[in-house]
Amino acid sequence: MSVIRQSYIIHGTVGKVWEAMMDPAGPTKLFREMARFKNLEIKPKKTWVQFCWMGKQTKPSRVQISLTYENQRTYIDLLHEDVPDNDRDKINKLWKDSYFGPLRDWVERNSPVVRVGFGY
């Protein structure tokens, strides 16, 4: 079994990120249609822990998404454990392209955050 770790910075409030993550019709809808989830722990605007079944998985993997907010940015850390080795690359790409990419695009389009500094 493999582990997937990803980190993202989204220019928007943690409230807006959380809202988008929780919205069943929101920007992560396509990703959620590719997997089944069972909530284990929810700490609003901080942590979301779930069991996840993707594809033909019979044993669930464990997903933890952690959020922190600082300087008009939400920092997101993903920890996805017990990922089948032969599906690791595919699932890693799905998180990036079908979950966090659309999430970041939606939040940054819908947040009144002023962007200052370098790297934009």
> What tens digit of pLDDT does each residue of 32-51 get?
888 899 999 999 999 999 99
Percent of the chain with pLDDT over 70: 93
pLDDT value at position 120? Answer: 45
Average pLDDT over residues 4-33: 92
Domains of the chain: 2-109 (3.30.530.20)
Render pLDDT for 77-109 as a digit per residue (tens, 0 to 9).
Answer: 999 999 999 999 999 999 999 999 999 999 998
| CB distance 55 to 31 below 8 Å | no
Alpha-carbon distance 103 to 26, whole Å?
8
Cα dihedral angle (42, 35, 94, 50), rounded to 10 degrees?
20
pTM, full prediction: 0.88
- pLDDT at position 117 is 54
Characterize the bridge pairing of strands 47-54 and 61-70: antiparallel
